[in-house]
Amino acid sequence: MNNIDALVRGRRSVRTFDERPLTQQDLEKLCAFMQHAANPYGLPVEFRLLNAKEQRLSCPVVVGTDLYAGAKMKIAPHLNEAIGYSFEAFILYAQSLGVGTVWVGGTMDRPAFESAMNLSEDEVMPCVTPLGYPAAKMSLRETLMRKGIKADERMKFGELFFEGSFSSPLTPERAGKLAHPLEMVRLGPSAVNKQPWRVVVTENAAHFYLKRARGFGGGVLDMQKIDVGIALCHFDLAAKEAGLTPIFELSDPGIPAKDGEEYIATYRF
């Protein structure tokens, strides 16, 4: 995947599609990508294409397409971060083809989608996305929804990223080579645009944390851990594109939390 910057800045959630079916070529490319959407946790993710009309699936925020991709996984530790990484890589790949997507974890008839995915008892389906070409104009519902959750806004660099401890906000200047990968994290999508990712940069590592928003409790399916998985994906792809060699690790550096931040993972250089 090339030019992460353009893909990350060019992506937005698309909920209004123009009714055109995907070209055979785009469909084949997406299917090929689905076969190998890996993640640093090494957990397999199974993607399936679904048809809302034929399988009677409803996702009320979406108009103008019947095609969806769903993803399911075996229940395992770190499944949320893993799906966040793999599914976001798929979303960015779709973006590179001009195919619109939106992460959907909540606003859908979940039982119908889960049954269409043939979910077994030891599996979960964290999310789905519609697939299609974006319409020129958003539906009124989508426009209002974006306004309601301030979907075009993001927190400031120094509110999300820190140097050494949660008490020292990081500046892009001090972040050096990590400034761009971190900016790619900042611009990412998150459930209800809560942006729960935090990163503490130390001499040779970036430690990722979850700062849980009130009312977003963690269960087996944890949308906010998925958000941090998305952050890991953007960071890793941007760092690699910049010629860095991030090494993924699960080793809590023991940095004291300031406001309930929960350690998730580290990229070491």
**Interface ranges with ligand FMN (CB under 6 A):** 12-13, 15, 61, 102-107, 127, 149, 151, 189-193, 223, 226-227, 230
* Amino acid in position 257: A
Given the complex with ligand FMN, which of 51 and 143 has the nearer CB atom? 143
Q: How far is the CB of 163 from ligand FMN (least distance, A)?
A: 27
Question: E strand or H helix at 202, and its extent?
Answer: strand 197-202
CA distance 267 to 206: 5
Q: How far is the CB of 110 from ligand FMN (least distance, A)?
A: 10
Helix, strand, or coil (residue 238): helix
Q: How far is the CB of 233 from ligand FMN (least distance, A)?
A: 11
Given the complex with ligand FMN, which of 191 and 237 has the nearer CB atom? 191
CA torsion angle for 19, 20, 21, 23 (degrees, to 10)?
Answer: -160
Given the complex with ligand FMN, which of 201 and 264 has the nearer CB atom? 264
Given the complex with ligand FMN, which of 48 and 154 has the nearer CB atom? 154
CA distance 42 to 250: 13
What separation in angstroms does the CA of 266 have from each of 5, 98, 246, 253? 22, 32, 9, 9
Given the complex with ligand FMN, which of 205 and 265 has the nearer CB atom? 265
Bridge partner residues of 201 (DSSP): 163, 206
Q: Which residue is nearest to ligand FMN (CB)?
A: 189
CA distance 255 to 257: 6
Q: How far is the CB of 35 from ligand FMN (least distance, A)?
A: 22
Q: How far is the CB of 127 from ligand FMN (least distance, A)?
A: 6
Given the complex with ligand FMN, which of 22 and 192 has the nearer CB atom? 192
Q: How far is the CB of 191 from ligand FMN (least distance, A)?
A: 4
**Beta-carbon contacts of residue 134 (< 8 Å; ≥ 6 apart):** 14, 16, 17, 18, 100
CA atoms within 13 A on the CB side of 254: 0
